[in-house]
Amino acid sequence: MKIQMQPMGAYQTNCYIVTVDGKDFIVDPGVGATEWVIAHTTNPVAILNTHGHFDHVWSNAELKERLKVPIYCPEGDVFMLEKDPFSQGTPSSRADVAVKPDETVIIEGIGMKFLHFPGHTPGTSAIELGDIWFCGDFLFKGSIGRVDFPYSDPTAMKKSLERAMEYPKNVTLHPGHGPNTTLEAEKRVIPYWIKAI
């Protein structure tokens, strides 16, 4: 597996290109991601959204049009792609596949699981590929996603954090903002955030 990452836009949202068996998966193409993605892919097969916030999906529509690849988004957040609920001027896109909570999808023979961790948004998911999570705005190094936005749910976030604490294996976390970390490392600080919410 090869992972390329580039922070995009004013919020420095991490866009990832994940290459498995020569197939490129684009994770969270944010503001201005299109040209970087095109320059760094050779065989794009899908766009994967961890959740529907504008800074993670801004380039969905343009990339779908130019690369002719489908968009996979957690079903709880597909409305955000279409309706621009935060009035940011986000180009409208449509999920080709609305992924159900904890569903494993097979794309070009590659399996990945959309682990559902609602709270930051209704559909927030960590995309598990092998021993890696692309966790969007669920977990960051030393922190968690905000729960004070429209459509956020602090109670759901607490349950999601408790679920993460019980996850049985260590995985490397590639978050939507900031540096990589591991679930084992974050389990040392998650209890603080459960109490703080």
- Mean predicted confidence (pLDDT) in 51-80: 98
More confident residue, 87 or 94: 94
Containing structural domain, residue 48: 2-196
The CATH number of whichever domain residue 128 belongs to comes to 3.60.15.10
pLDDT in tens, 4-28: 999 999 999 999 999 999 999 999 9
The per-residue pLDDT for 86 is 87
Strands (E), the chain: 2-8, 13-20, 23-27, 44-48, 71-74, 97-99, 104-107, 110-116, 125-129, 132-136, 139-140, 143-144, 172-175, 181-182
The per-residue pLDDT for 28 is 98
Calpha distance 25→165 (Å, rounded): 28
pLDDT in tens, 145-161: 999 999 999 999 999 99
| Three-class DSSP labels, 53-64 | CHHHHCCHHHHH
- Per the structure, how many domains does the chain have? 1
pTM of the model: 0.97
pLDDT in tens, 23-47: 999 999 999 999 999 999 999 999 9
Question: How high is the mean pLDDT of the chain?
Answer: 97
